[in-house]
A and B are shown apart, each in its own frame.
Chain A
Amino acid sequence: MVKHYPGRWLLAGSLLTLLLLGLGLRVGSYATDYAFIWKTLRHYDATDPAQLALIELRLPRLLLAWLAGASLALSGYLLQNLVNNPLADPYLLGTASGASLGAIVAYIFFPALTLGGLYLPPLAALAGGLGATLLVVAIGSRRGRLQAAPLLLGGVAVGALAAAVGSLITFLAADQDSLRTVVFWAFGSFERAGWAVLPYPTGILAVSLGLLVFLQKDLNLLLLGEERAQALGLPVVRLRWLMLALVSALTGGVVALCGPVGFVGLVVPHLTRGLLGATGRLNLAFCAVLGGGFLLACDLLARLLHPPAGLPVGLVTALLGVPFFVYLLKKAVS
């Protein structure tokens, strides 16, 4: 029996996050040292442009990167448990592509981006993500039970369809400005961050984590397979709907604001289970913290490698994530 130390890992992950936040606060066009950051945090003076940049631009950006990483990692973890398959992630099951389609519709057809005071992209992405996931579940279930192979294949097919429709809408967009917005949004970036948009991903993540604290045991039961979980008295169907809704909301909020950032939802849950075991009680919290830290690190790297605007963050996650993922796979096989 391998001994895991979930508490220590969670603490280490949290410290790493704080460290990355501290480093990230220093990276930008204005030169800022820690004395300046400390001064700003204690006596914020909005008339000083460097302090303004720190509080209004850098801090929300870092928080958005963390929230995006945490949400995507959590989505991946939930999906992998739900379909009991290590391949699952928001991209493979079509959720992210559906969310992208929703966001593209919002960006192209509602250039003002608000309707009745509501910021549209996250809501449209949520609807798209949920719609695509429902379609995939419908394709992948036989008599109310999910079947792994049709589910994954359905996910790939629906994902491809959503991506194609999204590309078609983008291609036909007459308005050059919306076209550019969508094309560059698709690269992935945290430049949209601001205190005004942060409540969306924060709220979704907080609600999800809050609910999941109560559901952690049920999630672990699901790993036994749907039939056995049901035999043990688990309301499998209701739980599945709830999780699909959470995954769509988590993915939608992130995709709408940051673009389709890949690989976090696949790599981080694997790493979590590798470090804490498949059924650890702190798995969800650790997965979120690790996912957040991973995207913080990717954003930091992206901006250091290619200042000022940074490389598209989706590229960095793949460049860092893929070799690491392959290493994990090799290790698991051996």
Chain B
Amino acid sequence: MRFSLLLPGLLAGLLACQPQSKPAATPATVVVHDDLGRTLTLLAHPRRVVSLAPSLTEILYAVADTATIIARTQADDYPAAVLRKPVVNSYPLDLERLVALHPDVVFTVEGLTPLDAAERLRQLGIPVYYQKYRRVADVLRGINDVGRLLGRSAQAHRLTDSLQQQLQLLVSPIKTTGKPLAVLALASADPIYVYGQNTLFTDEIRLAGGQNAVRDTFPQPFPALTREYVLKLNPEVLLGGRFGKMDSTFFKNNPELRRTSAYQRRRVYATTPNLLQRPSPRIVEAVRELQKVLKNN
């Protein structure tokens, strides 16, 4: 009881000890909403930024002044220059290290950083900005948002205009002859997890001229499927590894799937690691790669 009476006095004393020498020039702030609708107060010109998602790290490298990127996560591997930055573990999140770096803003993607961790960071004075993407266009919008928040709109727009142009060039020559090929993309071969209808892959493969073989929408973005379900889907193209490797592993463990059209016609391909699932500026590259796979047929 007595302590609670003392507390305001103590606090006042502590506050009085704050250095008063410099006149407190409060930096300009802006109030923004992230893609999850959360309200954040950011510095108008953040000088220290961190991304907790490999895709957003790629976006930062394409848009931000690279000197303002103060760290990377253990999962970041692109562009190669990122490997020189100090590492903050994103899973499990190394809160202490992150706080010690005192970033002005942390960027992340929905689902990669727990909301309660973001709330704790906010209480510690570090705003966490979430992005989410359902379609390729969302990624371009996300790049522009990052540019705007970092005061580098010009750079961002230059990038997204160029990406948009490349996409148009890629998509326009596709002739709509016949049904688009049904493509199943494996996220994991054992157990079988696939890119579901509500992943970015659905839009990427559509732009490339195919279609996601998974037509049902599951609550999970990467649903687990049974072997019977895959057999019934009968995908025409399978993405998950080179034919020879898949033949000796995936199809050896699941011999009944050798009946699928993809196996019968040897339309089984590997994709560049970390390209399909990253909503980064390389998204056009992903569409181009998918288109190349489809053109092989």
Judge whether A215 is part of the interface by a CB distance below 8 angstroms: no
Residue of B nearest to A48 (CB): B259
Q: How far is the CA of A58 from the CA of B75 in the complex (A)?
A: 39
Q: Which residues of A contact B193 (CB under 8 A)?
A: 180
Which of the 9-residue segments A49-57, A90-98, A153-161 touches chain B?
A49-57
CB-based contact A49/B190 at 8 Å: no
Residues of B within 8 A of A242 (CB): none
- Which of these binds chain A: B48-56, B152-160, B228-236? B228-236
Residue of B nearest to A52 (CB): B256
Q: Does A189 contact B (CB under 8 A)?
A: yes
Q: Are A191 and B256 in contact (CB under 8 A)?
A: no
Cβ of B225 and Cβ of A58 under 8 Å apart? no
Smallest CB–CB gap between B246 and chain A, Å? 12
Residues of A within 8 A of B259 (CB): 49, 52
B189 in contact with A177 (CB, 8 Å): yes
Contacts of A58 in B (CB 8 A): 228
* Complex Cα spacing A215 to B257, Å: 45
Cβ contact of A57, chosen from B192, B223, B256, cutoff 8 A: B256
Min CB distance B24 to A, Å, is: 46
Interface string of B201-233 (1 = CB under 8 A from A): 000000000000000000000011111110110
A52 and B231 contacting across the interface, CB-CB below 8 Å: yes
Q: In chain B, what residue has the closest Cβ to A28?
A: B228
Interface residues of B in 168-220 (CB under 8 A from A): 188-193
Q: Are A189 and B225 in contact (CB under 8 A)?
A: no
List A contacts of B188 (CB < 8 A). Answer: 177, 180, 184
Number of interface residues of A (CB under 8 A): 21
Considering only residues 52-77 of chain A, those with a C-beta below 8 Å from chain B are 52-53, 56-58
CB distance from A286 to the nearest CB of B (A): 32
Contact with A along B241-280 (1 / 0, CB 8 A): 0000000000001011001000000000000000000000
Name the B residues within 8 Å of A309 (CB-CB).
191, 223-226, 229
A136 to B188, CA, bound (A): 37
> Does chain B have a CB within 8 A of A308?
yes
Q: Which of A30, A49, A53, A308 has the most CB atoms of chain B within a 10 A radius of its CB?
A: A308
| CB contact under 8 A between A191 and B232, given known A57-B256, A308-B226 | no
Would B227 and A57 count as touching, CB distance under 8 A?
Answer: yes
Residues in B whose Cβ lies below 8 Å from that of A192: 253
Nearest CB of chain B from residue A122's CB, rounded to whole Å = 15
Contact (A56, B256) CB under 8 Å given A29-B229, A309-B225:
yes
Which chain B residue lies CB-closest to A308?
Answer: B229
- Considering the complex, give the chain A residue whose CB is closest to the CB of B216: A308
Query: What distance in Å separates the Cβ of A307 from its nearest Cβ neighbour in chain B?
Result: 9
CB-nearest residue of chain A to B232: A29
Q: How far is the CA of A308 from the CA of B190 in the complex (A)?
A: 16
| Contact A184–B231 (Cβ < 8 Å) | no
Please state if A29 and B189 are interface contacts (CB–CB under 8 Å): no
Asked if A279 is at the interface of the complex by the 8 Å CB criterion, the answer is no
Pair B228/A57 contact, Cβ less than 8 Å:
yes
Identify the closest chain B residue to A303 (Cβ).
B226
Given A57-B256, A177-B189, A309-B224, A49:B234 Cβ within 8 A: yes
Q: Does A181 contact B (CB under 8 A)?
A: yes
A30–B225 touching, CB < 8 Å? no
- Are the CB atoms of A57 and B191 closer together than 8 Å? no
Residue on A nearest B190 in the bound complex, by CB: A181
* Structural contact, A191 and B191, CB atoms closer than 8 A: yes
The answer to whether B191 and A49 touch across the interface, beta carbons within 8 angstroms, is no
Chain B residue numbers with a CB within 8 Å of A189 are: 191
A184 to B232, CA, bound (A): 23
Q: In the complex the two chains form, is A30's CB within 8 Å of B232's CB?
A: yes
**Chain B positions within 8 Å of A310 at CB level:** 226
A185 CA / B226 CA spacing, docked (Å): 14
Given contacts A56-B256, A57-B256, A177-B190, contact A191 B227 (CB under 8 A): yes
- Across-interface contacts of A53 in B (CB, < 8 A): 228, 231-232, 256
Looking at the assembled complex, report how far the CB atom of A51 sits from the nearest CB atom of chain B, in whole angstroms: 11
Tell me how far the C-beta of B74 lies from the nearest C-beta in chain A, rounded to whole angstroms: 12
> Are B190's CB and A28's CB within 8 A?
no
User: Which A residues are CB-close (under 8 A) to B256?
Assistant: 52-53, 56-57
A308 touches B225 (CB 8 A): yes
Per-position 1/0 for A162-183, Cβ under 8 A of B: 0000000000000001001100
For chain B, residues 23 to 69, give those with C-beta under 8 angstroms from any C-beta of chain A. Answer: none
A60 to B193, CA, bound (A): 21
Q: Report the Cα distance A303→B223, complex, angstroms.
A: 14
Instruction: Establish whether residues B191 and A308, one from each chain, have CB atoms under 8 Å apart when the complex forms.
Output: no
Which residues of A lie under 8 Å from residue B226 when comparing CB positions? 28-29, 57, 191, 308-310
Given A57-B256, A177-B189, CB of A49 within 8 Å of CB of B232: yes
Interface residues of A (CB under 8 A from B): 28-30, 49, 52-53, 56-58, 177, 180-181, 184-185, 189, 191-192, 194, 308-310
What residues make up the interface of B, taking CB atoms closer than 8 Å to A? Answer: 188-193, 223-229, 231-232, 234, 253, 255-256, 259
Q: List the 8 shortest-distance A-B pairs measured between CB atoms, nearest first.
A: A309-B224, A308-B229, A29-B232, A29-B229, A53-B228, A184-B191, A29-B228, A56-B256
Q: List 9 A-B contacts (CB under 8 A).
A: A28-B226, A29-B229, A30-B228, A56-B255, A57-B226, A177-B188, A181-B191, A184-B191, A308-B226
Beyond the given pairs A180-B191, A308-B225, 10 more chain A to chain B contacts, judged by CB atoms under 8 angstroms and listed by A's residue number, are A30-B228, A53-B228, A57-B228, A180-B188, A180-B193, A189-B191, A191-B227, A194-B255, A309-B191, A309-B224
